[in-house]
Amino acid sequence: MELRALRYFVTVAEELHFGRAAERLHIVQPAVSQQIARLERELGVQLLDRTSRRVRLTPAGLRVLDAARDTLAAAARVRVVAGEHAAPLRIGVESCVTDRLDRAVTRLRNAARPADPVLIDLPVPARLDAVRTGDLDLALIRGTFTAPGLTVSHAWSEPLHVVLARAHPAAAHPTVTLRDLAPDGLRLPARHHDPALLDAIVAALPPGLPHQPAGDPVNVLFEVGSAPHTWTVLPAEHLANTRSTRIRAVPLDPPMTINGYVVASPAMPAPCMRTLTTAFAD
């Protein structure tokens, strides 16, 4: 029995749809179907009840699902504890490097049991999937999200800032209120890029405030810099290393904050999880 087959089964069980599971796994759908069928043959039971309209777990599938998750988590733990001195620590992150990330890397390298962080840039959904499958040791996530089957630890909070074109009348202010901004000028990253971040920003803003998706954060900042009536809201640390002379990040009044989390497999030993959380804390 291969871990890959268990990983595919868990993904299908969570999605209850072979097509969506294949998208999450970044493989073609027939490969998923073949692995599930092989696993069913090996176990001698039917795990999934498939019809043209739906997929659901059989009673045997429900039992196997818990065991499969435990097995994948145990495999991830083996990778962690088997590491040599300064073992690689695979961390799922976004593309920008922040002072917090630099500081955490230094702390981890100088810890009682040193780690050698390896930063892997992945979208948030792929980050969570990679932790579940053991392809990442941990992931950093900002915002509002659910992570069934994973351990989530709050590590930090940071302010949200408004980003304006330098030509915007409020750009010279020490702080900005939402009353200073055009209600129809809000631009935010597309949800698929970072659902957790977008959901948290939308939740922090007044209900019903309209916004237009503008691609990834780089495209959002480019559009804001090009159109003085537009504006966006992003985490302060995300903006700290922005070098564009066409935009300015300004604190909000009243302040708004967003939370940051360390996400790992439940097989991660509790002392290790505390060390990782502390490394990214303020």
The mean pLDDT value for 88-96 works out to 83
Report pLDDT for 135: 84
Residue 278: pLDDT over 90 = yes
Per-residue pLDDT tens for 110-135? 877 788 888 888 888 889 988 988 88
Per-residue pLDDT tens for 204-242? 888 888 888 777 888 899 999 998 899 999 999 888 777
Instruction: Provide CATH 3.40.190.290 ranges for the chain.
Output: 159-256
Report pLDDT for 86: 56
Residue 85: pLDDT over 60 = no
CATH number of 159-256: 3.40.190.290
Q: How confident is the model at residue 84 (pLDDT cuts 50, 70, 90)?
A: very low
Instruction: Provide CATH 1.10.10.10 ranges for the chain.
Output: 3-79
**What percentage of residues in the chain have a pLDDT greater than 90?**
38
Residue 52: pLDDT over 50 = yes
- Tell the CATH superfamily of the 85-155+259-280 domain: Periplasmic binding protein-like II (3.40.190.10)
Going by their DSSP bridges, the two strands 87-93 and 138-142 should be labelled as: parallel
Q: What is the mean pLDDT of the chain?
A: 87
List, in order, residues 6 or more apart from 37 with CB less than 8 Å away: none
Report pLDDT for 31: 84
Cα dist from 117 to 72, 80, 92, 237, whole Å:
22, 13, 10, 20
Cα distance between residue 257 and residue 233, in whole Å = 11
Per-residue pLDDT tens for 177-203? 999 999 899 999 888 878 899 999 999
Q: Which CATH architecture has domain 3-79?
A: Orthogonal Bundle (1.10)
Instruction: Provide CATH 3.40.190.10 ranges for the chain.
Output: 85-155+259-280
Q: How confident is the model at residue 83 (pLDDT cuts 50, 70, 90)?
A: low
Q: Residue 249: in which H helix or E strand, if any?
A: strand 247-251
